[in-house]
Amino acid sequence: MRADRLVLEASGLCKAYREGEKAHLVLQDVSLSLREGELALLLGRSGAGKSTLLNVLSGLDRPDAGVVRVGQITLTALSEQERTRFRRQHLGFIFQAYNLIPTLTVEENVRLPLELLGRTDAAAQQRVQLLLREVGLAERARSFPDRLSGGEQQRVAIARALVHNPMLIFADEPTGNLDDQTAKQVMALLVRLVRQERRTLLVATHDQAFLPLADRIWELREGRLIELMPERLHIFRP
C-alpha cells in the first residue's frame, strides 16, 4: 500500500523555446502530482516534450511559468546552485545513453553520488556493494564502462541512481538503446528495485512493456498533459 505523502507536485508549468523569430510552446499549463512509492509513466511521441518536462520537474531547467515542489521544497524558487545541491541529495537519474564516466570503474561510478555528498564511510561502501549485488555486477566492480554491454551499463546506471536513497527518480527512455530482450530484463530490474526500496519513479518512455507495471500514466500531447485510464491506453502510438 502506498503512503499518502506527496513527493512531487507541479502546477501550471509552461515552457517555450525560440526557433528563429518564433516561440515554440513545449509545455502548456502542465500540472501533475506523485505520491510516495508510485511508479508513473510519461508517454508521448518523439519531440512531444517529455525530456523537457523531466528537466523542469527535476530542476535541471526552469519553467517560464508554474511551480514545482519536491517534498517540502519549492524547487522553482531555488537558485541554480541550490537546485544542484538538492538534486545531488534527493534525486536520482537514469538516462537513455547511460551517462557513465568512462574513466571510473563500475564501483566508482556507483559510489560517485555518495562521494559528492561527502559520504565515504563504511556504511556508504556497504551500500555500493549491496546494489552491485542487486544488479548482478559485483564481479564486474573493477571493470570500466567500455568493457560492459549496453544492458550492463544501464544496470550500473540504475545502481548509481538508487545508491544515495533519493526520494524521487527520473528515467528518460531507460530502455531506448537496448534490444527487446535486454530491455525487458533491465525494465524488470528497475521496477523490482524501485518497488523494493519504496522509491518514487517517473519514466519517460516509448516502451509499452512498462504500461501494465505503472500506477499512473500520462501522455504529453501538443504541450498538454493527459492522464490515461487503462481503458484508454489503446490511443497511445509510439
What domains, with CATH codes, occur in the chain? 37-62+80-233 (3.40.50.300)
How far apart, in whole angstroms, are the C-alpha atoms of residue 187 and residue 179? 12
The x, y and z cell numbers of residue 173, run together, are 527512455
DSSP string, 43-78: E--TTSSHHHHHHHHTTSS--SEEEEEETTEEGGGS
Q: What is the mean pLDDT of the chain?
A: 92
Query: Is-contact 142 177, C-beta < 8 A?
Result: no
How far apart, in whole angstroms, are the C-alpha atoms of residue 73 and residue 80? 14
The residue written with cell numbers 518514487 in the block is 200
Q: What's the confidence (pLDDT) of residue 230?
A: 57
Number of Cβ within 10 Å of residue 24's Cβ equals 13
Per DSSP bridges, beta strands 6-19 and 22-35 are antiparallel
pLDDT tens-digit series, residues 211-233: 988 999 999 999 999 999 755 55
Q: What's the confidence (pLDDT) of residue 233?
A: 54
Query: Is-contact 58 171, C-beta < 8 A?
Result: no
In the chain, which stretches have pLDDT less than 50?
1-2, 234-238
The distance of Cα 141 from the centroid of its chain, to the nearest Å, equals 23
pLDDT tens-digit series, residues 179-194: 999 999 999 999 999 9
Q: Supply the pTM of this predicted model.
A: 0.92
Q: What's the confidence (pLDDT) of residue 140?
A: 96
The fraction of the chain above a pLDDT of 90, given in percent, is: 84
